[in-house]
Structure 1
Amino acid sequence: MLVELRIRNVAVIDTVSLPLAGGLNVLTGETGAGKSLIIGALGMLLGERAAADRVRAGAERATVEGVFDLRGLPAVRVLLDERGVEADDDLLVLKREVGANGRSRAWINGSAVTASVLADVGARLVSVHGQHDSRQLVDADHQREVLDAYVQADAARAGVAAAHAQLVALRARERELEQGRQDAMRRADYLRFVAREIEEVNPVIGEDDALDADIRRLAHAEELQGLAAQAAAAITGDDRAALTRLATVRRALASLVRIDPSLERLQSGFDAAVYALDELTTELESYAETIEADPQRLRTLERRRDQLVSLMRKYGPTMPEVLAAAAEASTALDLLDGGTLDLAAIADARASAEGALAEAAAELTRLRQRGAHRFARAVTALLPELGMREGRVEVVLAPLEAIGAAGAESVAFVAALNAGSDMRPLSRIASGGELSRVMLALSTVLARLQQVPTLVFDEVDAGVGGAVAWQVGALMRRVASHHQVLAISHLAQIAARAHHHIVVHKSAVGTVTTSDTTVVIDDARVVEIARMLGGDADREVSRAHARELLTRGSEDVQALADVGETLEVTPSATPKRQRRGKPV
């Protein structure tokens, strides 16, 4: 149960501490007072997207905290333990902060957690039903989700989705292989030519560069030989050669060292230079001996280079690309030879996956078929209490041509909400007010199945009024007998049913507008009910009307308790309405 909601620096809210109680909590206030901001802050606490525009102007960060009572919620404790969050006592504190820079942080019991963990835990604590749910009610996917929630088909749905994903992947692979095989068949002659041509030449990566170097040397053999011999002779040849002329340097250095031994390093450097020149001469002479003009070899290399150039011109422009073209052609040809076996193996796997999907979908269908009638009866049983005495709701399951990720059938809610009406889809027959009431009936039925302790109804009474509003309030009060309920409403008939009445009001502090909350009791509550009735709250006649409404609300609630009216909507039993033990 949500014990307290603390909000700071969210939109126009400066600081709000919202104390909540068990039973039916009703939040009222003038339009624009900030009721929707409180629900938005609660959503942020439950893991919804937290944007920087939520932060109050001039503030560094917005903060929302929720204090929850964990008594009677062992499943939540298990989840916290799985997420590594300590919950030693009966209170749990969730906190969410968003900075003006857009950065968001979250904590549970003081331990930092991710927004996803906060959302996982929040989903076990609070379930929010808003006006948008009424609009979603006409959507076929949403209707399917509602039915599946009622029949508790989460595991079956996950099985169908997984089996369908596997089948889709296998079909895609099968199409890919078949397409590749068909392409290879159309291009078989060309592919064989490519593979054969490249294979006959048998090129090697880097071979083209090596050939260019060899051809260049052979083409300039005489020139290279002459230059090498000329360089060697310049070092060791006649009296004018370098080494001969360096003898004078050697003698001078020897004399210098005898006089000044510290110049020994110069002698060492000279000796190293002379040795290097001597080595250079040896290498030049050896190189000159290896160079030999060979016209026949030159022609052979040039023919080989021409072959490589031809391949690179066709399949290149580089040698790696030529080899890649050969590999691609060989792979495609292998597909022609072995593709039939691969396709047969995939076909077997696909058939197995189709069987698994059919089996999983059949289980989901059984759950839906068993629960659809019970669900329709449970919802229909509530419609008279919401002002639709002749209303009926049915669930239509229509087989699909092919099993999809969501199962083998479509799910559609059809209804006749007025006497003499034919059964039609909700999108074609329901007004906004009627949709709101049908959605409330659905939420009431699902609430009995949900383990979530706190339900939030955000203006789900839109479009209703008068006696119907009174009945809507009675139904919310009934739901509050086994859940904590927080209802945001503009209707006095619903506010009069509350166990705990909170008013949101807007005020100005200097030049800054802010929203705040007040728990109203006794005369303050009478004034608020009078305001909601549309009269002058300061006039005694308006207050008398408000007192009468509050008195009637208390008397009706007591009468409801006296007769012991119950509604069974669990999926294990057929819904029945009973009064004093007798069916009506």
Structure 2
Amino acid sequence: MLEELEIHDLGPIHQALLTPAPGMTAITGETGAGKSMLLSAIRLISGGTADSGRVHTGAREAWAQGVFAVGAVSPVLQAAREAGVEPDDGELFLSRTVPVSGRSRAVLSGRSVPRAVLGNIASQLVTIHGQTDQLRIASAAKQREFLDAVSGDDTELIAYREAWNALHDMDVRLERMRTQESSARQQADYLRESIERINRVNPQPGEDEELKTRRSRIENAADIAQGVSGALAALDASQVSVDSDEMSASDLLNRAVDALRGIHADGDFNELADRLESLNADLSDIVFSLTQELDDEESVEDLDTINSRIHELGELTRRWGPTLADVIAWRDKAVFDVEDLDASPEKIAELEAERERLRKTAVAAAGKLSQARTAAAERLSTRVTDELASLAMAGSALDIRVTPRTGDTALDANGGDDIAFLFTPYEGSPQLPMGKSASGGELSRLMLALELSAADMRAGNKADSQRDNHDRTETVRSDMTFIFDEVDAGVGGKAAVELGRRLARLARSAQVIVVTHLAQVASWADGQFVVTKIPPDADDDDLGVITTVAEVRDDARVHEIARMLSGSESEASLDHARELLADSRLKG
């Protein structure tokens, strides 16, 4: 959601700050006031082409920034992190600087990024439906993505992609086996010999380090024995010599404990005795461990055997290491690789049979996905056509066709369907691909009908899911901001009211910003901004025309609606404006 749009020295706008409402925001103003510059700013921060000719007269550069709020599970977060940016308090900052001369600069949350990266992020946050921005879903791929996004076919889509990936992996494996040459067979021989050599040694993870530790103990046996014996002699001489009559450290500690226990006066004597007993217990453990060290002393005769084994393992790690774990992992992978390199007719036949099984699984999954898409296409087509009738486009219709492909190349990573959005602009007209059969205003209303129908279908899918889980249903709201320009071209009267009502409905599930000249549309907005053109000052005309952007509320908004209705602010038009604002409220 766009929280803030700030502009400096772009076209006639010297400085402007726009804070759209979370729901619907209307941008109004007289024709030629500069409303298009707001869209130019959005296009700039969306990675659009920079035009230095649009820098404000007398300024060195133009700058625009959009602040977007993103949800904790928004898909755009991953794209931002891949660009090296972590959202700050759930916000992303997209900015663009365009100098009078030189290259523009794209910045994402303070980090310079390529323009394409900014465009990728913005495409997941903003959708502009204007004369130069139409047909976001004109391509077959985008139409398929749009249909899948609203059809609720996640289960079928995931199942198909898993089946397709398995089939694709098998095709790659078979192709590799069929095209192998003598070098591959030599590689297989090398792998077999290497596997045999490793198996002969039979290394165990960490074995070499364990052996080196044992060797170190043998080589330093005298030092170890002397040190351990010295420690035991000091702590408990009886462990070293049975003839010793010296008291052990443990005996001395016990004597001290008994002495403290015998004190019957007030003081911390019992606590001190407890501490000595705890110390004595630790001391006993130490003495036991030291005696074990003497008992576990390695035999010097084992040194040659250990060195020989370390040498064997070292040969393996030098060739396939650096660690024994790497050697073992290499061997295990080599076993699998040998199977692929051993392209015997029997092996290929076995894999071809497995490939056919995977193909049938993928075909079945593609069929289920196609059925889900076909059902969704029928629902979406019907909804859009019904919406068009209420948007001054009676006789217009949208037909979404899902055509299963046939033949060996029927399947691809996205299924087995060809999907086409065909638009009929008026009754009796032939069906034509979107973008080749409607004016700018008609396309904007068609896209509004599509976005509104898609939002309703997504909400229905969510509600069904929540009912299945016995949860309370709620409105599904996305991070997307929809911007509509020219959507009211050629519309008036009752159709204009219905247009505003539908924009307000869409604003329940996403943020909507509409550039409009119709009061019947603007009255439905939750917030309204007026773009005003100010002629140059007679004493200082170097700055040229200045455009201001200001939010209007309460009486100021009534006056703006009145101006839009009749071009005047008479009492009659003001009353009409108040009545229109009062009536422009969604029920329920």
Give the TM-score normalised by structure 1. Answer: 0.55
Residue 519 of structure 1 corresponds to 551
Report the secondary structure of 2:488's partner residue: coil
Seen in structure 2, the aligned counterparts of structure 1 residues 32 and 45 have a Cα distance that, compared at 3 Å, is same
Letter in 1 for 2:91: L
How do residues 101-140 of structure 1 correspond to structure 2 at under 5 angstroms?
101-108=102-109, 110=110, 118-119=118-119, 121-132=121-132
* In 2: Cα distance, 1:168 partner to 1:465 partner: 54
- How far 1:483 sits from its partner (Å)? 2.9
Q: Give, in angstroms, the shift of residue 453 of structure 1.
A: 4.7
Distance 2:402 2:494 in 1: 34
The match for 2:521 among 474, 479, 494 is 494
1:80-229 alignment to 2 at 5 Å? Answer: 83=81, 85-87=85-87, 89=89, 92-100=91-99, 101-108=102-109, 110=110, 118-119=118-119, 121-132=121-132, 142-151=142-151
1:75 match: secondary structure? coil
1:223-252 CA distances to partner (integer Å, 9 max, x unpaired)? Answer: xxxxxxxxxxxxxxxxxxxxxxxxxxxxxx
Question: Offset of 1:426 from its aligned partner?
Answer: 6.4
In structure 2, the partner of 1:465 is 492
Q: 1:407 to 1:496 in 2, by over 3 A?
A: same
Q: 1:35 to 1:434 in 2, by over 3 A?
A: closer
Shift in alpha-carbon separation, 1:358–1:88, aligned structure 2, 3 A: same
Report deviation, 1:472. Answer: 0.4
Alpha-carbon distance between aligned partners in 1 of 2:367 and 2:140, rounded to the nearest angstrom: 20
* Offset of residue 372 of structure 1: 2.0
Output the CA distance in 2 between the equivalents of 1:81 and 1:388: 38
2:374 is equivalent to residue 369 of structure 1: yes
Unaligned segments of structure 2, at least 5 residues: 182-342, 459-476
| CA-CA distance at 1:363 after TM superposition | 4.5
Deviation, structure 1 residue 442: 0.6
Q: CA deviation at 1:17?
A: 1.2
Following the alignment from structure 1 to structure 2, what is the Cα–Cα distance between the partners of residues 428 and 26? 26
Post-superposition offset of 1:532: 3.9
Shift of 1:25: 0.8
The one-letter amino acid paired with 2:530 is V
1:479 aligned partner: 506
Aligned-pair CA distance for 1:147: 1.7
In structure 2, C-alpha distance between the alignment counterparts of 1:411 and 1:66, rounded to whole Å:
34
1:241-286 deviations in Å (ceiling 9; x for gaps): xxxxxxxxxxxxxxxxxxxxxxxxxxxxxxxxxxxxxxxxxxxxxx
Q: CA deviation at 1:484?
A: 2.5
CA distance in 2, matches of 1:164, 1:40: 42
Give 1:288's aligned residue: none
Q: Which residues of structure 1 form unaligned runs of 5+?
A: 182-337, 565-584
Q: Give 1:43's aligned amino acid.
A: R
- Which residue number in structure 1 is paired with residue 55 of structure 2? 56
Q: Deviations over 1:369-399 (max 9, x none)?
A: 2322332343244334324567664433223
Q: How many residues align?
A: 396
Give the alignment of 1:232-311 within 5 angstroms.
none
Mark the CA change 1:33 to 1:154 in structure 2 (over 3 Å): closer, same or farther. farther
Cα RMSD (Å): 4.6
Q: Determine the C-alpha separation between the residues in 2 that align with 1:138 and 1:120.
A: 18
Taking the aligned partners of 2:76 and 2:35, their CA distance within structure 1 comes to 33
Residue-by-residue CA offset, 1:473-511 (whole Å, 9 max, x unaligned): 111122223433211123232123222221223333622
Q: Secondary structure at the match of 2:5?
A: strand
Closer, same or farther: CA 384–50 of 1 in aligned 2, 3 Å: closer
Q: Distance in 2 between matches of 1:93 and 1:145?
A: 25
**1:358 maps to what in 2?**
363
After superposition, the Cα gap between the structure-2 partners of 1:478 and 1:94, relative to the gap in structure 1 and judged at 3 Å, is: same
Helix, strand or coil at the partner of 1:519:
strand
Deviation for aligned residue 1:96:
1.6
User: CA–CA distance in 1 between the matches of 2:445 and 2:75?
Assistant: 34
- Give 1:547's match in structure 2, choosing from 557, 563, 574: 574
* Residue 526 of structure 1, CA deviation: 4.8
How far apart, in 2, do the equivalents of 1:384 and 1:501 lie?
27
Aligned counterpart, 1:282? none
| C-alpha separation in 2, matches of 1:139 and 1:116 | 19
Distance 2:53 2:413 in 1: 37
1:446 alignment partner in structure 2: 454
The CA distance in 1 between the partners of 2:165 and 2:489, in whole Å, is: 41
Contact 1:390 1:418 (8 Å CA) reproduced = yes
In 2: Cα distance, 1:52 partner to 1:161 partner: 42
Letter in 2 for 1:396: R
The Cα shift of 1:37 comes to 2.3
| 2:541 aligned partner | 510
AA of the residue aligned to 1:370: A
> TM-score, normalized by length of structure 2?
0.54
Q: Distance in 1 between matches of 2:79 and 2:142?
A: 32
Which stretch shifts more, 339-348 or 437-446?
Answer: 339-348
Q: Hey, what does 2:227 align to over in structure 1?
A: none
Match of 2:45 in 1: 45
SS at match of 2:508: coil
- Residue-by-residue CA offset, 1:183-204 (whole Å, 9 max, x unaligned): xxxxxxxxxxxxxxxxxxxxxx
Equivalent runs, 1:320-339 vs 2, <5 Å: none
Match of 1:21, SS state, is: coil
- The CA distance in 1 between the partners of 2:414 and 2:479, in whole Å, is 25
1:428 and 1:104, CA in 2 relative to 1: closer, same or farther beyond 3 A?
closer
Q: Name the structure 1 match of 2:415.
A: 407
Q: Which has the larger radius of gyration?
A: 1
From the superposition, tell whether residues 159 and 510 of structure 1 become closer, same or farther in structure 2 (CA, over 3 Å): farther
Shift of 1:519: 1.7
Contact 2:76 2:124 in 1 (8 A): no
What is the DSSP-based 3-state SS (H/G/I as helix, E as strand, rest coil) of the residue aligned with 2:479?
A: coil
In structure 2, relative to structure 1, the CA distance for the partners of 1:418 and 1:555 (3 Å cut) is farther
Q: Report the secondary structure of 2:65's partner residue.
A: strand
Q: Deviations over 1:93-148 (max 9, x none)?
A: 5042335321423132x455565664555445433333356556776555434322
Question: 1: CA distance between counterparts of 2:74 and 2:556?
Answer: 37
State the AA in 1 paired with 2:2.
L
Q: Distance in 1 between matches of 2:94 and 2:451?
A: 27
- Change over 3 Å in CA distance of 1:511–1:61 after alignment to 2: closer
Residue 445 of structure 2 is aligned with which of 437, 442, 452?
A: 437
Contact 1:170 1:350 in 2 (8 A): yes
Cα distance between partner residues in 2 of 1:114 and 1:392: 40
Amino acid of the structure 2 residue aligned with 1:517: V
* Residue matched to 1:382: 387
Change in CA separation of 1:434 and 1:371 when aligned onto 2, cut-off 3 Å: same
- The aligned residue for residue 455 of structure 1 is 482
Structure 1 position 26, deviation (Å): 0.7
C-alpha contact 1:134 1:435 (8 A) present in aligned 2: yes
The yes-or-no answer on 1:22 pairing with 2:52 is no
Answer yes or no: is the 8 Å Cα contact 1:52–1:102 preserved in 2.
no
**1:364 partner SS:** helix
